[in-house]
Structures are given as structure tokens and as C-alpha cells.
Structure 1
């Protein structure tokens, strides 16, 4: 077990999460005010002490997130960016020597990015009209999946149950929304200048900022169970390993649209993902009862799984914009990967 020092108290933790939420919501409203289709809803955040949830939309006006996710991110980053594990600090900072104050800045930044990835996803459900669509068109079967879902639904599209197709397409769209927004939020010169103001220039360039976003993404997905041998099948979301690859692809696509210096990780991406997942797995195997390995859940990358998800992606790209048009607050974008 790891000994952690300087853990935030509950009030400070809640304030940290609320600041992340307010930043995400204001970023959407300010950055997209010219393409808002209708008045932005008033959205509040509920920070829950229930460790059985991670995050969810309670309604078009409220998102709930568990303090447990914050605690997990806080514990992980404090361990991997401690002086005892200075190798990771040096890899993201390019510093020759460990600096505790700079490490604290990276901890706060990487935690913020990870939490905002989650919050942007939930806000995507609201701003892209998913909640309104489900409220107006869905039976409970669509909203609340059971383990018997696939055998209980007769309507199919390309051999995939229609309800499952719609739900997974909505989740895919929320992932794309989050991936696009997190790049817009951080990979910009004015944002980097703001972060570096008085902070010893911890961000060296737009590309450095992008790599920190990418690493935060892989770490977040890994903590959510990428290599967990006990992770259960999820009928609401595309497979987690495919979601990670899709999310990173959208992040790269979004970055390259808005930046002259392009990101090309074609030769290094898989090795980077494996390296980061191994780091998270090592941590999880010391703190959790499950066994975490990069070899777990690789069936999600097999041809059969990819084939099913290609059908969902095609349905998403061909149908979702039109389906959500009456409900979306923003114009629904489907990034071209």
C-alpha cells in the first residue's frame, strides 16, 4: 500500500470538482455561443459520496459525480508524481531534477484534465440533445439496460439490437464531444500562457500540452478498468479499449485541424498506450483486489467486436445528426476520423 500525504479535505475536494465543472460549462457556452441553437439550460452539479457511481446525468439540468473518482485520481497522481517515482515526472516535464512544487502543479493539471474529460462527456449528453431525445422517444428498456437486453429486443439494425445501437451511438457521440472540447479547452496558446503565468513554464508548447491531454486520457481509461480482469460487459457503451482508441483519434483529428504543427503518433501511439497502461496496472495491482494486465479484455479489439462497432459507427455517422436535430442545443458534430 502507498502512504499518501497532503490529501485534500472534503470541502476542498468538492470545490476542485465544482471549479472543473464550471470551467467546462462556461467554456462550452463562451466558445460556442455563435452556434447555440437554443437557450443554454441551467445545469448544476451534485457531488455524491456514493462510491457505486462514477458520473451520470440526472436530468437536462443536473449532473452527478462521485467523490470516489476524484479520490482515485488524486491518489494515483500523488503516487506516480512523487519523488520516489521521479521517472514519470521527468518524462512529462523534461526536467533533469525532481521539483516538488512543479510536481504539485502537474498533479493539479492532470487531475483537472481527467475530471473535465468525464464532465465534458456528460455535458455532451445534454448539449447534443441525448437526454431530451431519450425522454421523448425511449422506453425504459432504452434508458436502463439489463444483462438480458440483447435477447429481449426484436428490432435490429444490421443484426445489432436497435436500442443498443442508439444508446451506443449516443455514448460514442458524447465521447467525441468530450475529446473535441478537451482539445479546444487546453491546446491553445492563450491557455498555455495562462497556465505558465508564474508557474515556471510547465507547458513547453502546444504539442507538449496535447501529450499531457493524451496521457491523462489513457490514465483515466486505465483507472476505469481498461485491463481489469473483472470488468463486466457493458451494453450501454462501446468496448472500453475501442472507446480509448476512438477518443484519441478524435483528439488527434481535432488538434490537427486547429494547429499548423501536426501531431503524428502513428509509430509511437500503441507503445505509449501500453507504457501508460502498465504504469496504471502496476498501481492498481497494489491497491485493488482485481488483476490488471494489458493482456486483459483484448477480445474488445478482435475482428468480431470491431465489426459490430463498425456497424454502430456507421449508424452514428449516417443517422445521429438528423435524429438529434429537434433536441440538440448545439449543432451535432460527427468528427471525420
Structure 2
């Protein structure tokens, strides 16, 4: 078993265990998809995937940032900014149902969030500001920017607007948020594993100084990953706002950055940079989404949610640790003691 498979083994087993618990608690319908009256795919597990799509988008961007030994705490605020720009642009127009208007609003929101992500990258790569400090500033100020965009109100988009299809619609019966998350995951996986980009990211995260001396443009790569992270956060904000039909600058994407970091850690990517696992991150996101439903299905209070997440992260981190596994299995690997000299002579005779 190669290193990649070993990293994914424990998250997959944890996910399968959670699914098994839910099947025992609620029946096999938990995992079996169904078709709703409107012809759209539904079911408990499909709904988990649909709800988890915004978190997956942010976690994928976070994975790339962490691969370069960085962190982005501003993704929740960028989520709110993207949602605010799109919704405010749409409601300010005379006709909210115009397809061109929705495309323009989406493009404007994505351009703004990508620019914000690039700004974070410039602060880190060119000005030498620590990633946690550079993104913490925007984490604090970002929601204020979103409130300025909306005038302190919660803009509500008409249900008839095509914008709401981003969060509520379906294509070939599959919810559109699942399609978007799957396409972004596939695109990033191909870019990082079928081109040299993935190797460059791991080089920058593993040893930035050595990468610079080797001729790798580490600053440009750093700006790029923060830009992608901002773009993913903006897209997640659009899906969240489209699902609700409104943008809440105060609560939209609140603390989603913590869940994104948890998903990255569960998926096997080290916070110290270097090797990263996009598929592991996706599994981590599904684990978090499934865990939230598991707490309810087994009859526990929702107040257990944060404690349960911490326990799962702790368990996966221990299982992925070679030192911990070696310490647990050490008694089983001890060799039998050599026989005493007298016993050896007796055995020889």
C-alpha cells in the first residue's frame, strides 16, 4: 500500500463507520438515494452532499494554501462578501429574472473574491506578513465590507430569479451544488496531479528557500493559491446565498474556516506544508457533514456537535500518526527473549 492510500485509509474507515451507525439508527434509506416528486435526487446522504458543497469548495482552496505552509482565516468573510455583492447587484436591478443580470452579478462577485484572495497572497508572499496575521485582518474587516455592500440590510432575491438555481436547482436530477463541487474538485485534481503544479506546491511548502534557489517562483505560486482560495470561498458564498435566497453579512459562512481546516486535517494534509491530499479533504468534508446528521439520528443534542468534531479529528490524527501506531503495536512486535545459556545447552543435548 503506497503512502497516498495509507493516508486515505483511516478517513475512509471513519466515514464507513459513521454511515453504518446511521444505517443502524435510521435504516438503509439513509444511504439509498430517492427521487423527489419534482424529479430531483434526494435522500439523507444526497442532502448531506448538497449541504456540504460550499464547505468542500472552501476546504479545497484551504488545502492548496496549507500545502504552501500557509493558512487562510478570511474565507468565511470572503464567503459573506461574495454573497453580498451578488445579491445586492441583483436586487438593485429592475428585473431580477434577467439571465444576463445574474451572470454579471456572479462574475462581479467571483472577480471581487478572487482579487481579495490575491491581496492575501501578496501580503504573505511579497510583504512577508505571517499568513495567520494577514488573513486575520481580513477575517475581521471582511464582514464589515459585506455590511457596507448591503447597507446593513439582508438583501433578498426573488424566488423567480435564475440565481436561486445555483443552490436549489438540479441537472440530470443531481443537485447543482454537487455538480459544482465535483467539477472544481476534478479540475483542481487534474491541475495538481497531471501537471507540474502539484510538485511545485509541495516544493514551496516543503522548503520555500530551497525552492527559490532552485528557480521556482515561489511568490507567484503563493499568490496563485490564495487567489484560488478566495475564488472558491466566493463561489461557496454564491451557492449558500442562492440556496437561502438572501445574503446575511453577519452570519453567512460564520466559522466555516474552522470546519474547512478540520476537513483538511482529517484528509491527511499536514499543517506544516508539503504533501496534500485533495481527495482526502473531500472525504473529510463528507465526514463532518455525516457526523452532524449522526448526532441527531442517534438521539443526541445538537450541543454535542463541536465535541464530536473534536473527538473525530483527534481520533483520525492519532490513527494517521506512525509514532502512535508504533507505540500501540510495539508490544505485539516484541521478539521472544533468547533462551538462557543453561536452557540452550539442555536443548542442544
Please state which band the TM-score falls in when normalised by the shorter chain.
under 0.3
Q: Which has the larger radius of gyration?
A: 2
The structure with the largest helix share of the pair is 2
Q: What TM-score comes out, normalization by structure 1 length? A: 0.24
Q: What TM-score comes out, normalization by structure 2 length? A: 0.24
